[in-house]
Amino acid sequence: MPRAKNGTHDLVFLPLGGVGEIGMNLGLYGFGPENDRSWLIVDCGVTFAGPELPGIDVVVPDIKFLEDEVDNIVGMVITHAHEDHYGAVIHLWPFLKVPIYATPFTAGLLAAKVDSESLEEDIPVTVVRQGDRIDIGPFDVEFVAMAHSIPEPCALAIRTVAGMVLHTGDWKVDLTPGVGDPIDLKRLEELGREGVMALVCDSTNAVRDGVSPSEADVAAELKQIMASSKKRIAVTTFASNVARIRAIAEAAQHAGRDVVVVGRSMHRMIDVASELGYLDGLKAFHDEEAYGYLPREKVVLLCTGSQGESRAALARIAAGDHRNIALSNGDLVIFSSRTIPGNEKAVIEVMNNLADADVDVITDGDALVHVSGHPRRGELEQVYQRVQPKVVVPVHGEPMHLAAHARFAKSQGVGEVIRAKDGDVVRLNAGSAGVIDEAPHGILVKDGTILDDPEVTGVRERRKLSFAGSAVVALVVNRAGDLLDDPQIALAGLPDTDDDGEPMEDIVEKAVVGAVTSIPKARRKDKDLIAEAARRAARAAVLDVWGKKTLCKVLVTRL
């Protein structure tokens, strides 16, 4: 095992994302003296912007801390290829350029993403396999096979001379996962006997009792539904769930149907999975051009768009806007997915469009057409009994999930349960575990081609515009500060008139002229003073009439 630097044995965990939220996972493990730690990055994910960040494509963790420590970063390990765990690599790796370690499936998807984004340089990846054990700086890292809703998910057994931490990544207990290896409970038990000092563990379903059904149960349900249907069937699911794709294809084959694939991300996933043998033995998938000549009772559409994304295949089909695909009365759409919080309105809109066309819909509320990839309390208990950690840090969850997981860990007899949040530096050493420091953290937003702090991109201002519009005032003054012409007013997103019918532009103009002319002549030579007086007056006038604080800009030209 690699030796500690300078004899210092503190092992710390520092999340820069993914703790207190679902998504944007980026965790750091540090080992060595406080002022000279080696850092191992675990995962590098995105989250998707909500209405509070209008116009933003994705959100990634702020890596200022990592940029300051770049010479001490020994590598980046990706536990699996979900966007919230690897999607930020293409955005952030160019700033770090550290070695990356990932399994073949994750490496294949990352290469496809790099190619589709036309990045200026490739991102080199060292390919590892489930079960491998390698040294990365002072960390001895073992890739333990887990089960999740994507191929090749790994927990990481990270050994140092201070002790072992087990970082679970996303997982569930599934002995029949559909593709790939099942969770390696035997190896987890062996690690427990070796001695797991700390467990950093997925909390997403810690609020739920029992055990999640298996992917095999979903496969059986899909087979039964397809066998009994007489018209077209469309199934939408997460493109990354290769086991579900295989189950859909097998159910279609059993029912004598061909599968037509619609959606770029679905094609990309199928290409990578096929190259690695995960879809061996299935009939060939068809492109969407085949849809027109396949008999209605002999086709299954496999579509992107399970989250109601407006540009995805299913939304366009439901709205009647797809150039090659249409559904009609009596056809069936299966949502083999769950709706991610925040996407409910978009998904309901798609379902309503389908209902308007008299298309039948089945969701996981109607039949077992989806299962979670995260552990309920019954599954957590199975792993806790095998691993028997001395310290637990709940991660991957919102506060309610983390709190439920913390209570569960204590009920299992764990002596030290640490409630952390993004930016906390957590000492994992048994007997002295706890939050010992705080590091810089936050978010960066991808706004078109720009990646930066939200304040720099103007997204905060853009949000204000969406609520209260804008007023732009242009003034022309002489050297004495006297107005040489009427103000030019440009309003956007404001009412045209007040309740009495007076134009809003006239109201703003009167307020601005009054404010400028009320400035004492001796002070009117100050352009900045004129601009601020006009801005305040315009804003106050709009507030008085409309009750909203519009965004105001004033341009002053002196002749």
**pTM listed for this prediction:** 0.89
- pLDDT per residue rounded down to tens, the chain (559 residues): 544 444 457 899 999 999 999 899 999 999 998 889 999 999 999 998 777 787 788 899 999 999 999 999 999 999 999 999 999 999 999 999 999 999 999 999 999 999 888 777 889 999 999 999 999 999 999 999 999 999 999 999 999 999 999 999 999 999 999 999 999 999 999 999 999 999 999 999 999 999 999 999 999 999 999 999 999 999 999 999 999 999 999 999 999 999 999 999 999 999 999 999 999 999 999 999 999 899 999 999 999 999 999 889 999 999 999 999 999 999 999 999 999 877 899 999 999 999 999 999 999 999 999 999 999 999 999 999 999 999 999 999 999 999 999 999 999 999 999 999 999 999 999 999 999 999 999 999 888 888 888 878 888 888 888 889 999 999 999 998 899 999 999 999 999 999 999 999 999 999 999 999 999 988 988 999 999 999 999 999 999 999 999 999 999 999 8
The residues facing 259 across adjacent strands are 300
Q: Which of 113, 330, 127, 361 is nearest to 235 (CA)?
A: 361
What is the Rg, in whole angstroms, of the alpha carbon atoms belonging to the chain? Answer: 28
The identity of residue 97, as a single letter, is K
For residue 554, the surrounding DSSP H or E stretch is strand 551-558
Measured distance CA(105)–CA(276) in Å, rounded: 7
What is the per-residue pLDDT for 450? 83
Please name which of 136, 135, 140, 139 lies closest in space to residue 31, comparing C-alpha atoms. 139
300 Cα distance to chain centroid: 29
User: Strand pairing partners for 329?
Assistant: none
Give the pLDDT confidence score for residue 4 in this predicted structure.
Answer: 43
Which domains, and CATH codes, for the chain?
Answer: 9-210+372-454 (3.60.15.10), 215-362 (3.40.50.10710), 469-558 (3.10.20.580)
63: Cβ–Cβ under 8 A, 6 or more apart, which residues?
A: 16, 26, 92, 95, 96, 444
What pLDDT was estimated at residue 8?
Answer: 57
Q: How far apart are CA 297 and CA 255, in angstroms?
A: 9
Give the bridge partners for 61, in sequence order. Answer: 443
* Pairing label, strands 125-127, 100-102: parallel
pLDDT at residue 237, as a whole number = 97
User: Mind giving me the DSSP string for 456-524?
Assistant: HHTHHHHHHHHHH-EEEEEEEE-TT--B-SPPEEEEESS-SB-TT--BHHHHHHHHHHHHHHTS-GGGT
Q: Provide the H-helix boundaries in 257-398.
A: 264-275, 313-318, 344-356, 377-387
| Diameter of the chain measured on Cα atoms | 89
Contacts of 500 (CB under 8 A, 6+ apart): none
CB 128 within 8 A of CB 103: yes
Per-residue tokens: 475: 């003034």
Q: What is residue 487's predicted lDDT score, i.e. its pLDDT?
A: 94
